[in-house]
Amino acid sequence: MRVGVVTVHNGQNYGASLQAYALVTKLRYSGFEAFLIDYRNAKIEDRISSYKRKEKNNSIKNILKNLRSLSSDMLFNTSQHLRLVSEKFSSFHDMILDSDAGIFHTCAEMKKLNMCYDAFICGSDQIWNYNITGLDETFFLLFANDAKKRISYAPSLGMSSNSISPKLKAEIGEKLQHIGHLSVREENNKSLIEELTQRRCQTVVDPVLLFTVDEWFDLLEKADDVCPSQPYAFYYPVIEQPELESFAMKEAIKRGWKLLNPRLVPKYAKAKGYTEVPKAIVGPSEFLKLLASSKAVFTNSFHATVFSAVFQKELYVVPLKGKHSIRNNRIFEYLKKIEVLTEQANDGRLIYIESGGFKNCDAILKTNRELSIEYLLNSLK
């Protein structure tokens, strides 16, 4: 059976690329001819291009943005570094992409895939988050005809159900009717999906948790050698957070570690006070290798938290505040599920898990992993 996977993969986000890789590869391990479809959501593409383009409007804001971009290029070779990172992501995606099908930009264009696929899966990540994708019809598989199996695997609405407006709920409910087998990543959204569709919706694990640690080590063997020779801590914020960065720098000095941030252009990282940089360009597999080889992880990222548990890393999380605080829920839910975080410990301040704190994690997740794989296989029968 030929299976096409549609998700968000084109934003140069390490977690998004690794979850896509895990889902496609796990399907291949299970005997399916699975591929990632190279679909480019317009809202995400516009956001990416806004980072790169020079603004023509001569407002003070745009003039300052253009000056910052020019200065960054001159001082830190930013454009060249970002180009090399982009090439690294493309090379990683080549392992799972249906390169023969080409690139798609609209739901209408995707209809031609009905001729060469038997089933389609939408997910994971925040493909159903209105603020990120605009509830793009492609991520609800509206291009697939009735003869095809249509499955959701661990998508996220990116927000709690009680914060979604009635109008948005109605739109989501209408688009969900086209999907034959329903699952979501967050327990909080399960009841809403069932209410909107009057059908069962299963909670499944994020695709990165479909892999065992040994399967992730197979990927690390393909990664370039990027790890410093001296002991280092790994700092990765999905959202920039000064208090977390300051804490990580102080803690690294106290523990005698170097501190590395894979998101930053190396010259800029040094200027900011980081004491170590990767030895080569960091793509998704190199990102994971750096995390797995570190002494500790400082983060506010869901996927960095998950991988810290997978590789048994000492972990520090400072919850996000303000408009980004909704992202904390996924981290809290996951840490509670693997029984390393109690309700009492979740006081909105630093979460610390010692290196031995994840030793029972895989055993706890084993049943959830098996049920999630069973859901996938049963949906594709």
Of 32-41, 210-219, 338-347, the range with the lowest mean pLDDT is: 338-347
In this predicted structure, what is the pLDDT of residue 348? 59
- Report the share of the chain in percent with pLDDT over 90: 75
pLDDT digits (tens, 9 = 90+) for 178-206: 999 999 998 889 999 999 999 999 999 99
pLDDT digits (tens, 9 = 90+) for 248-293: 999 999 999 999 999 999 999 999 999 999 999 999 999 999 999 9
Please state, rounded to an integer, the average pLDDT across all residues of the chain: 91
Distance CA(335)–CA(381), nearest Å, equals 33
Question: Who's near 227: CB < 8 A, 6+ residues apart?
Answer: 278, 279, 289, 290, 293
- The pTM assigned to this predicted structure is 0.92
Mean pLDDT over 314-336 rounds to 88
Residue 62 has pLDDT above 80, yes or no: no
Of 45-54, 81-90, 184-193, 230-239, the range with the lowest mean pLDDT is: 45-54
* Chain centre to alpha carbon of residue 142: 23
Which residues on adjacent β-strands are paired with residue 314?
Answer: 296
Mean pLDDT over 57-80 rounds to 67
Residue 101 has pLDDT above 60, yes or no: yes
Distance CA(79)–CA(42), nearest Å, equals 23
